[in-house]
Amino acid sequence: MSHVTVIGAGLAGVECAWQLARYGRRVRLVEMRPGRMTPAHRSGGLAELVCSNSFRSVEPSMAIGLLKEEMRLSGSLVMVAAEATALPAGKALAVDRERFSEWIGAAVAGQERIELVRAEVTGLDDPLLEGSEAVVVAAGPLATDELSASLRAAVGEGELYFYDAIAPIVSAESVDMERAYWGSRYRPEDDDYLNCPLDEEEYRGFVAELIAARKVPCREFEKEIHFEGCLPIEEMAERGEMTLAFGPMKPVGLPDPRTGAEPFAVVQLRAENRERTAFNLVGFQTKLAYPEQERVFRLIPGLHRAEFLRLGSIHRNTYVNAPRVLTPRLELKARPGVYLAGQITGVEGYLESAACGLWLGLSLGAAGRGEELSVPPVTSVLGALLGHLRCVRPDFQPSNANFGLMPDLGRRAGKRLRKELYAARAREAFAAWWAGAPRPE
């Protein structure tokens, strides 16, 4: 009987396989561990959490909290497993990682439509994939070199990346416009960038704090990244007190309209979306610990009350330039019948990866019955996350779930009310979408 092959039994792979099975489709789920391990996994268990044991906040006014609701509503296996193996963790959903993985393993073993095969897939033409109606690549951020090379050959040299260097993103409303000003280099009339000026004392104080701040240690397999020309901002700062002033914080061509003079240094913020509701700190990819990022970056004039929609990171991460190489149904434009799910598409995070697998499983499951599942609305969290994968831009980068990915509310509101309005709109949009979706068995 025909089947769908899913490569990788991580968070996206098991969720996708499970949803396919719910629609009555046969699935071959191929996982290489424990025969071959990734540099981060430690076991042969399915859906192993490689680092933190938390699925982050359950707060319904946060995008990640709402994503949990959306996944629960649409029948997520990962959400049921997480809740069954949860540990007390305040407003976060944290799990006992071994029990979580075992729970998923038992569920998959008990689902007769899923055949778990322990083997490595070496490329898109691997004989293991023969006879599949469709192939889902859910091999994650640490997909093997051989499979990545095959994927790269399919999508094109420049469209698959091996690491991400993410700068923090702040909401536009939280930038203090008494301090910040518009203008790009030598073009003061432009409004592509917001500039936060620092005088000499502010600059030196900021650099000192940046150097002293707590960093996330670099894993052995990530060290090569820094040699590829992608230096964390704090490492640049350590090379000399003026390195940043001559680098990413260069003030040349950016006079402050209030004084007419170039400041000592400038932090440039670049718009993240057309509506310019969110801005990233240009060149500020960082390995600072999350709480340290908030503390240190709020020392920048204009960002004292910054609301961080996403924090920075530098990771080993295999992902494609999704808006260019994938269709809205996550199918490779260059290889019809091959789909991508999880972190390899350019979503970021355990839950986001699972959510991506969930949607693809539902979509392919419905398609197998000759029905079409529409893409969720971009005003929902899942829809916004998938929308990110369709948004063509010169510097496509992975994203976690956040309200900055959603269309603007179209009205001004304070921070708390804004979150509530985003949440109410998302909840309504997702419920309406799900109500009209073809049901699994």
Ligand X SMILES: Cc1cc2nc3c(=O)[nH]c(=O)nc-3n(C[C@H](O)[C@H](O)[C@H](O)COP(=O)(O)OP(=O)(O)OC[C@H]3O[C@@H](n4cnc5c(N)ncnc54)[C@H](O)[C@@H]3O)c2cc1C
Interface residues with ligand X (CB under 6 A)? 7-13, 30-33, 38, 40-41, 50-52, 120-121, 138-144, 147, 315-316, 342-344, 349-350, 353
Q: C-beta of 33: minimal distance to ligand X in Å?
A: 5
Q: C-beta of 190: minimal distance to ligand X in Å?
A: 35
For residue 339, what are the β-bridge partners?
136, 331
3-class secondary-structure state, position 170: strand
The residue among 24 and 34 lying less far from ligand X, judged by its C-beta, is 34
Angle between helices 63-73 and 350-368 (to 10 degrees): 30
CB–CB of 330/389 below 8 Å? yes
The residue among 315 and 419 lying less far from ligand X, judged by its C-beta, is 315
The residue among 22 and 41 lying less far from ligand X, judged by its C-beta, is 41
Q: C-beta of 253: minimal distance to ligand X in Å?
A: 38
| Interatomic CA distance for residues 114 and 18, integer angstroms | 8
Q: C-beta of 115: minimal distance to ligand X in Å?
A: 14
Q: C-beta of 144: minimal distance to ligand X in Å?
A: 4
The residue among 230 and 431 lying less far from ligand X, judged by its C-beta, is 230
Q: Which residues contact residue 111 at a Cβ distance below 8 angstroms, ignoring those fewer than 6 apart?
A: 18, 21
Q: C-beta of 350: minimal distance to ligand X in Å?
A: 4
What would you report as the CA-atom Rg of the chain, rounded to the nearest whole angstrom? 22
Q: Which residues contact residue 383 at a Cβ distance below 8 angstroms, ignoring those fewer than 6 apart?
A: 375, 376, 377, 429, 430, 433
The residue among 148 and 268 lying less far from ligand X, judged by its C-beta, is 148
Q: C-beta of 54: minimal distance to ligand X in Å?
A: 7
Q: How far is CA 208 from CA 213, 268, 311, in A?
A: 9, 19, 20
The residue among 45 and 248 lying less far from ligand X, judged by its C-beta, is 45
Burial class (CB in 10 A: 0-12, 13-18, 19+), 249: buried
The residue among 90 and 260 lying less far from ligand X, judged by its C-beta, is 90
Q: C-beta of 106: minimal distance to ligand X in Å?
A: 17
Return the structure tokens found at 68: 């949990």
Q: C-beta of 41: minimal distance to ligand X in Å?
A: 6
Burial class (CB in 10 A: 0-12, 13-18, 19+), 201: exposed
The residue among 203 and 319 lying less far from ligand X, judged by its C-beta, is 319
Give the strand order in the sheet containing 114-118.
114-118, 27-31, 3-7, 132-137, 338-340
Q: C-beta of 342: minimal distance to ligand X in Å?
A: 3
The residue among 30 and 71 lying less far from ligand X, judged by its C-beta, is 30
The residue among 74 and 148 lying less far from ligand X, judged by its C-beta, is 148
Minimal CB distance residue for ligand X: 10
For residue 132, what are the β-bridge partners?
3
Q: C-beta of 239: minimal distance to ligand X in Å?
A: 26
| Strand pairing report for 132-137 and 338-340 | parallel
| Interatomic CA distance for residues 285 and 259, integer angstroms | 30
| Interatomic CA distance for residues 323 and 325, integer angstroms | 6
The residue among 192 and 228 lying less far from ligand X, judged by its C-beta, is 228
**How far is the first Cα of the chain from the last one, in angstroms, to the nearest whole number?**
19
| Interatomic CA distance for residues 266 and 248, integer angstroms | 8
Return the structure tokens found at 347: 């979503």
Virtual torsion, Cα 167, 241, 231, 283, nearest 10 deg: 30
Give the strand order in the sheet containing 265-271.
181-182, 193-198, 265-271, 278-281, 169-171, 308-310
